[in-house]
Amino acid sequence: MKKWLLSVVLFSFFCGMVNADEASIADELSKVIPGIKKEQVSKTPVDGLFQVIVGARVIYVSADGRYIIQGEMVDLVNRTNMTETALKLARRSELAKIDEKSMIIFPAKEQKHTITIFSDIDCGYCRKLHAKIDSYTDAGMTVRYLFFPRSGPNTESYFKAVSVWCAKDRNQALTDAKLNNTVVNKTCDNPIDEHMRLAQAFGVTGTPAIIADDGTMVPGFVPAKELAKHLGW
């Protein structure tokens, strides 16, 4: 649903809700976005403005329901991006729903942190990152790969992802595909579409997209040492 259309529809539901609270907002929102619960709605420090977590996204709703706001809320006194704080929690929650059996994992020798990477086999920077995979695992980062072929479903990059997933040794097949441009065509039941839906829910537009274990999203290729420094590890 287009953002502007979502706002118009929500407006039609909320008009007149002057004394809205978390429960009433969740109840009305659920008519438009199935599954919204009271626990996904919370008050903000701004009177009359509520925060709503929708999957891995954050929106804000005025108490009377007239306005939907999509953007960042920043506390200038505490220098805190409140929206990013909420997004970190949302990302962690959504990733927790994904079974690790549907990921390709390169474990750290001595795990200190976990990073989840949305990756495209045909992405140059994804290949550059994978060429340095040992530097991440040596630094204590377990790397969990999810596929996000940027060209979309039923494209060459998509079918490469399927073939890698269906290989007997997925880790080796991924390395061969990225570093040697070698892919053995295979088909089987696979989670590629699920990975792509999650990437879209996260707002991923480019690869690699790195999600730290605290929910921070870091776009692009970042060497292991710089990533650890950026994340305060």
Distance CA 39, CA 167 (A): 41
Query: Is 15 assigned a catalytic role?
Result: no
- Domains of the chain, first to last: 3-85 (3.10.450.70), 99-231 (3.40.30.10)
Query: Is 79 assigned a catalytic role?
Result: no
Pair of tokens at residue 15: 């008009």
Catalytic residue among 91, 127, 144, 150: 150
pLDDT confidence band for 25 (50 / 70 / 90): confident
Catalytic residue among 120, 122, 127, 144: 120
CA distances, 183 to each of 53, 77, 159, 162, 176 (Å): 39, 53, 10, 10, 7
Catalytic residue among 91, 122, 126, 144: 126
Are residues 22 and 38 in contact, defined by beta-carbon separation less than 8 angstroms? yes
Residue 186's closest CA among 195, 178, 194, 177?
A: 177
> What's the average model confidence in pLDDT over 131-135?
97
Model pLDDT, residue 18 = 52
Q: Per-residue pLDDT for 2 more than 50?
A: no
pLDDT in tens, 168-217: 999 999 999 999 999 999 999 999 999 999 999 898 999 999 999 999 99
Model pLDDT, residue 220 = 95
Average of per-residue pLDDT values in the chain: 88
Strand order in the sheet with 141-147: 104-106, 141-147, 113-119, 209-211, 217-219
Catalytic residue among 91, 123, 127, 144: 123
pTM check: above 0.85:
no
pLDDT in tens, 45-79: 998 889 988 877 888 888 776 677 888 999 999 89
